[in-house]
Structure 1
């Protein structure tokens, strides 16, 4: 591993401590994959857990068919509260993945809270023609949280409004100085650098947008990739083409002169494409490339797989 890679790993801490995927099986949500870092005891408990519809955080996201933020576990419906407390985890966000009315999976991310961990995981919902903050977790970025609670977006404005208008994932760089990011001043003060916005499809006509805002010292990820899905005439997803991407080490990943694509079941992104399910990977190939883990999240539009978003730490 290069000296540069070692420096990056030693001086940065992930904003998200745990990512896990739950899939429906026999009327319950069961564990599918996850990254728990050094939290082996919490991983062992989680892998044996399952949730009925409406039970626990994954079951609540399933039953209510919407993303759910839980900022505290004590006295809540979070079934692993004691194990989370021992592991130093304090907050979680559950993101359901629906294809039309069919639940494919629930992705849960968990965070710890301290004075240094800065970033944002936000859920925005549409109300009376505007996107309003449904809820979010911000770590130490308290002022940015206050600004976000008092901000709304019309269609096409800012990162949430841009995702809403395009009904597609978007990446924004240089949040603290970018004119397209409405909260640029407070983002700069919080040290936020990169924004990823995702449309979250749910049954019915409700609009939800998920935004992941990454800071340099405690990044959500060190690499982001947005892939557009191409399908056969029969409707089967056959390949994905890289539409945008950014990496801390490599800079921009997308090049219109050299198209990058993956076929279904080719690598981790291809597996998400072929299966239509989100996944978390922590394997030797990632370690060789300098990453501890990666998440691949399929996004559906009108019940059809339209995008795969991947992030690596």
Structure 2
């Protein structure tokens, strides 16, 4: 992993806001967020809470599934005016369940213009195939159309591979990789990197989320997958970095950036200890990045994996 000490100005990010909502009594309250320069929207968010089924986080909670909302006007979204002033037009909510218990809801919000390219997709299993439940694609309209007309059996493509393995996966070079079924349209859209992850929910329904990043408006400049399963880490717990993609040269881990994370130590350790997603900015993260999101993926009641992305 790189050892740079100066922050590099990134390309304009696909995701404008990331925030974490946690249950407190019968409501979801604001736990963390990264808002960049959108101070008014941040202030509006901190003052807001959601009941069961209320707003986007409350809907993900009540329906126990990932939810994509591609337009706020006239919808159940509660912060429409503040979002409009901030230039935010779409959002995706990913619930984090440990067995039957909701731990948190991660919400990411995006703006929309003619140059914003990327994809956040939710795939759902129906009759033995994964079909697109919904997704946000920015200006990648043809890729969106192709995705709406694509399905995946278990083991095929990025969504099908995650479904078969029940683990997060990273795909590189989406435009030329034979494993990525939509490679031709991905290449035409400028999509380069794909992160797929299971979204466990109560019941039998299977959901897979995919984050597809483009070079011009990346979702992130670094992705990581950490394995926290006891079979790998032993009785002492912790997590091991098993895969990652970084836009800069150099190894993913070093003496300054160890491959293993222990409980409560560093951002990954905070996820291990709390079981909650973390949205962090500033000096707590690797040099050269302005913010990170770390998302736990449970198997039953225990954390099996953590995925992280850095901007």
> What TM-score does the superposition give when structure 2 sets the normalisation length?
0.94
Unpaired runs of 5+ in structure 1? none
In the alignment, the residues of structure 2 paired with residue 125 and residue 196 of structure 1 have an alpha-carbon distance, to the nearest angstrom, of 16
Unpaired runs of 5+ in structure 2? none
Structure 2 residue 137 is matched with structure 1 residue 138: yes
Secondary structure of the corresponding residue to residue 242 of structure 1:
strand
In the alignment, the residues of structure 1 paired with residue 57 and residue 236 of structure 2 have an alpha-carbon distance, to the nearest angstrom, of 27
Structure 2 residue 23 is matched with structure 1 residue 24: yes
In the alignment, the residues of structure 2 paired with residue 138 and residue 281 of structure 1 have an alpha-carbon distance, to the nearest angstrom, of 25
Shift of residue 173 of structure 1?
0.4
Higher relative contact order (CA 8 A, sep 6+): 2
In the alignment, the residues of structure 2 paired with residue 21 and residue 142 of structure 1 have an alpha-carbon distance, to the nearest angstrom, of 29
Residue in 2 that maps onto 1:302:
300
Residue deviations 1:66-98 (CA, integer Å, cap 9, x gap): 000000000100000010001100000000000
In the alignment, the residues of structure 1 paired with residue 163 and residue 229 of structure 2 have an alpha-carbon distance, to the nearest angstrom, of 21
In the alignment, the residues of structure 2 paired with residue 303 and residue 126 of structure 1 have an alpha-carbon distance, to the nearest angstrom, of 22
Q: Which moved more, 1:300-309 or 1:150-159?
A: 300-309
Asked whether the equivalents of residues 237 and 274 of structure 1 are also in contact (C-alpha less than 8 Å), the reply is: no
Shift of residue 299 of structure 1?
0.2
Structure 2 residue 266 is matched with structure 1 residue 267: yes
Residue in 2 that maps onto 1:52:
51
Structure 2 residue 282 is matched with structure 1 residue 283: yes
Structure 2 residue 9 is matched with structure 1 residue 9: yes
Once superposed, what is the RMSD of the aligned Cα atoms?
Answer: 2.1
Residue deviations 1:273-305 (CA, integer Å, cap 9, x gap): 11110010012243x711110001000112221
* Superposed structure 1 runs of 4+ greater than 3 Å apart: 2-6
Residue deviations 1:4-25 (CA, integer Å, cap 9, x gap): 976x525x11000000000000
What is the total number of aligned residue pairs between the two structures? 305
Aligned ranges for residues 1-313 of structure 1 at < 5 Å? 9=9, 12-231=11-230, 238-250=237-249, 253=252, 260-286=259-285, 289-313=287-311
Q: Kindly tell me: are residues 150 and 5 of structure 1, through their superposed partners in 2, closer, same or farther at Cα, counting changes over 3 Å? A: farther
Shift of residue 307 of structure 1?
0.5
Secondary structure of the corresponding residue to residue 177 of structure 2:
coil
Q: Which moved more, 1:126-135 or 1:222-231?
A: 222-231
Q: Kindly tell me: are residues 259 and 34 of structure 1, through their superposed partners in 2, closer, same or farther at Cα, counting changes over 3 Å? A: closer
Shift of residue 116 of structure 1?
0.8
Secondary structure of the corresponding residue to residue 36 of structure 2:
coil
Asked whether the equivalents of residues 229 and 237 of structure 1 are also in contact (C-alpha less than 8 Å), the reply is: no
Asked whether the equivalents of residues 171 and 245 of structure 1 are also in contact (C-alpha less than 8 Å), the reply is: yes
Shift of residue 48 of structure 1?
1.1
In the alignment, the residues of structure 2 paired with residue 166 and residue 252 of structure 1 have an alpha-carbon distance, to the nearest angstrom, of 26
Asked whether the equivalents of residues 17 and 109 of structure 1 are also in contact (C-alpha less than 8 Å), the reply is: yes
In the alignment, the residues of structure 1 paired with residue 57 and residue 43 of structure 2 have an alpha-carbon distance, to the nearest angstrom, of 17
Q: Kindly tell me: are residues 214 and 5 of structure 1, through their superposed partners in 2, closer, same or farther at Cα, counting changes over 3 Å? A: farther
Shift of residue 145 of structure 1?
0.3
In the alignment, the residues of structure 1 paired with residue 167 and residue 132 of structure 2 have an alpha-carbon distance, to the nearest angstrom, of 19
Secondary structure of the corresponding residue to residue 77 of structure 2:
coil
In the alignment, the residues of structure 1 paired with residue 172 and residue 192 of structure 2 have an alpha-carbon distance, to the nearest angstrom, of 6
Secondary structure of the corresponding residue to residue 238 of structure 1:
coil
Shift of residue 252 of structure 1?
6.0
Shift of residue 188 of structure 1?
0.3
